[in-house]
Structure 1
């Protein structure tokens, strides 16, 4: 795989996500309201990306005996990066078409793409760190997307409301542990390694500083989001008790 050019896999992955999205929008969710269909279709491509990405990234990491925060990317690690780059490109297209004012989500995806693309196409090193973070980000993906789909229909479908009620506490707890504890701990190790300067010859200082900045911001927003959900759930239960 030529690391100096976009491989044939990236457009293929993008086409795959595009087809999945169209099938979700025009077939799977054809009976949903126009307001909900785009969000539901986005959830489906997120599911198509998230869980497979966890297993692919885990294999890519474990199959590299020289892995560390500054190790060169293997061909399979580059493939996994492209798999995720294609997803974020597709989801950005989704937001630009249906939710162009959602600057926060579009910005999140753009900065995430910056991290993945600089790792894949600019420095060719550091995929170990990025893929571990990908695992931490996507290990909750299936649970989160099922919860999101159930939340979207809980007001008019009793089963969806029940799924949302049952799933919320374990999902919130799982997400809190991954994003609130495991993520920050790994980023701290990553920061200490890069701060030592041992990887500056392969990952320029401005690159790893930008990576850390993007990741810390994303984790902070995630913690704020899940905290608001905990508060909302507690408030609803207090109202029920009253």
Structure 2
């Protein structure tokens, strides 16, 4: 019964409409008092809140519910549902960047590359969701903290609570992000690469597809490591500067 329902309902358009409505509510109601410069970013964070943590739980269930899971295993219906959920989110957030921040080529490129991975896994090869969903979990496990940190960062100069929240969240967020993107992620991608390079998946996932996946993921992880490294340096400089002022 569950499988028939999932097959009959066009989940992707419904999910996209959901994220679109959340974005509109955030932009025109929740953050209506924010400056026009900050409202789009805050609205983007709102749909990220709606996607990130739920995606972690949905992807975890989709993986654990399948007894036969592996880098070359076929996608289950529920795994495809989770992929549709993430595809809808990235499409909506891509629309946000194209409309409000068209100069942010890095994020637009990131979203296009991510969509390529999700769409090929979901609609082209219908295999490999296990690997893609594990990567989704690692990418989104920090999402809630990151979005709260981003909103606090946006208002830290004019709201005392936002400044305090930003200072409070920065160290734990940086630690969690560093572990997920700097250690667990690279190790999983290493195992993923070893499996695909062995040729064990070539009969269900064409070589050009998994090579593309690895290229996108390795690039994304590399950029993430560079980003968090710069944030650690900035945090160290700020804390050192404050300490020097207190001692002088």
Fold agreement, TM-score > 0.5: yes
Structure 2 residue corresponding to 1:86, chosen from 88, 94, 107: 88
- Unmatched 5+ residue regions in structure 2? none
CA–CA distance in structure 1, aligned partners of residues 133 and 176 of structure 2 = 19
SS at match of 2:182: helix
CA–CA distance in structure 2, aligned partners of residues 189 and 169 of structure 1 = 29
CA–CA distance in structure 2, aligned partners of residues 35 and 208 of structure 1 = 39
Give yes or no for the alignment of 1:174 onto 2:179. Answer: no
Structure 2 residue corresponding to 1:10, chosen from 12, 24, 43: 12
CA–CA distance in structure 2, aligned partners of residues 98 and 80 of structure 1 = 27
**What per-residue deviation string (whole Å, max 9, x for no partner) do you get for residues 9-34 of structure 1?**
00000000000000000000000000
CA displacement at 1:6 relative to structure 2: 11
Q: Post-superposition, which runs of at least 4 consecutive aligned residues in structure 1 deviate over 3 A?
A: none
**Alpha-carbon spacing, 1:6–1:151, altered in 2? closer, same or farther (3 Å):** farther
Number of positions where the alignment pairs a residue of Structure 1 with one of Structure 2: 240
CA–CA distance in structure 2, aligned partners of residues 119 and 91 of structure 1 = 20
SS at match of 1:218: helix
- Unmatched 5+ residue regions in structure 1? none
**What per-residue deviation string (whole Å, max 9, x for no partner) do you get for residues 169-226 of structure 1?**
0110010000000000000000000011011000000000000000000000000000
Using structure 1 for the length normalisation, give the TM-score: 0.97
CA displacement at 1:240 relative to structure 2: 1.0
Structure 2 residue corresponding to 1:198, chosen from 182, 190, 200: 200
Using structure 2 for the length normalisation, give the TM-score: 0.95
Which residue pairs with 1:60 in the alignment? 62
SS at match of 1:17: helix
CA–CA distance in structure 1, aligned partners of residues 33 and 182 of structure 2 = 37
**What per-residue deviation string (whole Å, max 9, x for no partner) do you get for residues 47-104 of structure 1?**
1000000000000000011100000000000000000000000000000110011100
Structure 1 residue corresponding to 2:30, chosen from 11, 28, 31: 28
Structure 2 residue corresponding to 1:115, chosen from 110, 114, 117: 117
Give yes or no for the alignment of 1:128 onto 2:130. Answer: yes
Structure 1 residue corresponding to 2:215, chosen from 204, 210, 213: 213
**What per-residue deviation string (whole Å, max 9, x for no partner) do you get for residues 80-131 of structure 1?**
0000000000000000110011100000000000000000000000000000
SS at match of 2:88: helix
SS at match of 1:200: coil
